Amino acid sequence: MVVIVGAGLSGLLLAYRLKNANIPFQVLEARKRIGGRIHTSIATQNTPVEMGATWFHQEHRHFLNLLSELDIPFYEQFMEGTAFFQAHAGVPAESFVMPDQTPSYRIAGGTVQLINKLESRLDESDILLDQSVREIHFSTDEIRVEARGSFNAQKVILALPPKLWQETILFSPGLPDSVMQLASETQTWMEESIKVGIIYDSPFWRQNHQSGTLFSNVGPMTELYDHCNREVSAYALCGFLHSQYRSLLPEERKNRVIQQLVSSFGKEALEFLEYKELDWSTEVHTSGSLSRPLFPHQNNGNEIYQHALFDDRLFFAGTEASPHHGGYMEGAVYNSMQVFAKILRTAKR
């Protein structure tokens, strides 16, 4: 039995591969939903708004191969028309024409379609929700995983951010000091992000020959993009809020975001249907302690994460463990491939 801790992209993809290989497994997820940092919120007028992972690129070949395998359609991010850039406080955003660039892509219907497709390939009993793992005990013959229930395993895969398992799980015997120290210094993708989505009843920016793109060194929104669905039948703008605005009350953040949009896009930005936001630092099953500032992708893909512990019985999965595009969905897929191959090799031995 393989116990997978975490039902994000890495954990679910590993479960899917193990299922196809007829290797028994159990997925334990602390949340009451699956997907982890893939979180598509369905807003007013059935508009899918990405509160988590969104974009991927042509060089993300392993991710693209997975979409092809699962028959999941995708489309190019809309970037046509003028964009806005604000360099300094007190200076209005200036319009400019976006230069040609490598396109980015989004999954039709939302990134959650990938999660749903993986879940559909599993049995209902394969994933247990509301199972926050507290302790993992290794003995000569077996591993005992303590969550809301108790589970016995021969192998355990940690498919969650290193900083999170370092802070929340008691290992017995303890993991090497070098591993625990590295985990505490590994930046968790998305943990300090605040995603914002604003839903409208028409794509007025497109009608005004604008791309919906905004960059600002000041905020509150630092990046904003067109977020219409593939059919252009649901309309939204979506992006990232500057972390310094975390201290404000949600209503004040919303007011400042709308003011910023009006100053760039015009009064039509006032006529929004719904405002949504998600501060990932408040997600206790994603974000660890933020007391120590870390660089983006710091220690992602470190060599330590490439080696199993306890005689090939404890494996590190998740995008932060990936030596290839760590911190992206591509990294999660690539790392899952690596860990699955190691499980197969050790199972044969």
Whether residue 145 contacts residue 172, with contact meaning beta carbons closer than 8 Å, is answered with no
The confidence score (pLDDT) of residue 288 equals 85
DSSP 156-191: EEE-S-HHHHHHH-EEESPPPHHHHHHHHTSPPTTT
The confidence score (pLDDT) of residue 319 equals 98
* pLDDT tens by residue, the chain, 349 residues: 999 999 999 999 999 999 999 999 999 999 999 999 999 999 999 999 999 999 999 999 999 999 999 999 999 999 999 999 999 988 889 999 988 889 999 999 999 999 999 999 999 999 999 999 999 999 999 999 999 999 999 999 999 999 999 999 999 999 999 999 999 999 999 999 999 999 999 999 999 999 999 999 999 999 999 999 999 999 999 999 999 999 999 999 999 999 999 999 999 999 999 999 999 999 999 998 887 789 999 999 999 999 999 999 999 999 999 999 999 999 999 999 999 999 999 876 6
The structure tokens listed for 179 are 């591993």
The structure tokens listed for 275 are 């405002």
State the maximum Cα–Cα separation within the chain, in Å, rounded to a whole number.
Answer: 68
Which pTM does this prediction carry?
0.96
- If phi > 0 it is left, if psi is from -120 to 50 it is alpha, else beta; for residue 108 that is beta
The rounded distance, in Å, linking the Cα atoms of 334 and 313 is 20
Q: To which residue do tokens 């000091």 refer?
A: 177
Neighbour-count burial for 56-69, b at 16+ CB within 10 Å, e otherwise:
bbeebebbbebbee
CA distances for 167 relative to 183, 242, 285, 294, angstroms:
9, 26, 11, 16
The confidence score (pLDDT) of residue 349 equals 64
Using alpha carbons, select from 171, 175, 158 the residue that is nearest to residue 336: 158
The structure tokens listed for 226 are 């067109």
The confidence score (pLDDT) of residue 5 equals 98
Reported as a single tens digit per residue, the pLDDT across 72-98 is 999 999 999 999 999 998 888 999 998
Residue 34 sits at φ, ψ, to 5 deg, of: -100, 170
**Residues with Cβ < 8 Å from 118, sequence gap 6 or more?**
9, 12, 13, 15, 16, 70
The rounded distance, in Å, linking the Cα atoms of 230 and 209 is 18
End-to-end CA distance of the chain: 15
The rounded distance, in Å, linking the Cα atoms of 159 and 335 is 10
Whether residue 322 contacts residue 331, with contact meaning beta carbons closer than 8 Å, is answered with yes
Quick one: 335 exposed, middle or buried, by C-beta within 10 A (0-12, 13-18, 19+)? buried
The confidence score (pLDDT) of residue 263 equals 95
The rounded distance, in Å, linking the Cα atoms of 270 and 175 is 53
CA distances for 54 relative to 151, 192, 194, 312, angstroms:
34, 16, 13, 34
**Half-sphere exposure (CA, 13 Å, Cβ side) for 327?**
15
Whether residue 344 contacts residue 74, with contact meaning beta carbons closer than 8 Å, is answered with no
- Strand pairing class (104-107; 56-57): antiparallel
The structure tokens listed for 4 are 């997978």
User: Domains in the chain and their CATH numbers?
Assistant: 1-38+117-188+291-349 (3.50.50.60), 39-110+192-285 (3.90.660.10)
How large is the C-alpha radius of gyration of the chain? Answer: 21
